[in-house]
Amino acid sequence: MTTEVVNGVTLRRSAEGDLPVVVQVSGEAALFSRPELKVERVSYPVMTPSAAVGVLESIFWKPEMRYQVVAIEVLRPVRQFSIRRNETSDVAPLAEALKGSRRVDTAAHRDQRNAVCLRDVAYRIHAHVEVAAHADKPVAAYRDQLRRRVRKGACFQQPYLGTREFSAEFGWPDDTPRADVNEEIGIMLHSIHRDGQSAQPRMEWFAARVVAGVLSVPERGIELALPVEGPVG
């Protein structure tokens, strides 16, 4: 694996020797929930790799490809605000939702919860496009198609920043300087793997830290399971 420093950011090259594609996103608000806080929604101070993948897949995605985030640049200072949000505690299982066999009564199961969100955010996402063995095109074709869609402002669905109520604007990267953010974030979700062999997806995590406005994402995380709710012992 080789790396190269581009505009002060150390980037991994792909197996083919290419630098990552770059997409810039921004929004009035964001909520990248920390998973260890169950009741109140508290955002990480910066965008997570899984949220970045969600933005990219909203712009362009095919079944034979996936994104691997390399780095996320923070372009605006971290500013927080609190709101109260309506949520439902009644969630239908996926099988019942697909069949339409059970109605979710949101009015009867509505909960109000506090959320600590981020205000006025902007990021530059650096990510590699990886293709599966059954792909019928070279990886360069998928990268070029992503770039064309970013330039045109095309997307399959409106990207959002952690939660659907906080929509994201996206575009070609510009020369906006990075914010002076340096912070030890703690354990952050790296990626989610759904292989269809078990009901629960496999999750990888990593120790995240922002240095000079850059969150560097390792190639692989450490696979850990979230604690199971219930009494200890």
Cβ burial, residue 13 (10 Å; 0-12/13-18/19+): middle
Query: Is 55:23 a contact under the CB 8 Å cutoff?
Result: yes
- List pLDDT tens digits, range 66-122: 999 999 999 999 999 998 876 666 565 656 655 666 666 666 656 777 889 999 999
| Collapsed DSSP state (helix, strand, coil) of residue 106 | coil
Per DSSP bridges, beta strands 65-74 and 214-216 are antiparallel
Q: What is the pLDDT of residue 173?
A: 95
Per DSSP bridges, beta strands 80-88 and 110-131 are antiparallel
Q: What is the pLDDT of residue 93?
A: 62
User: Among 214, 175, 221, which residue's Cα sits nearest to residue 72?
Assistant: 214
Provide the token pair at 139: 């990886």
Distances (CA, A) of 6 to 11, 13, 104: 7, 11, 49
Q: Which residues contact 147 (CB under 8 A, 6 or more apart)?
A: 21
- List pLDDT tens digits, range 62-80: 999 999 999 999 999 999 9
Average pLDDT over residues 6-14: 92
Question: In this model, does residue 229 exceed pLDDT 90?
Answer: no
**Predicted structure pTM score:** 0.84
Point out which residues pair with 186 in neighbouring strands: 208
Average pLDDT over residues 146-173: 95
Query: Is 146:59 a contact under the CB 8 Å cutoff?
Result: yes
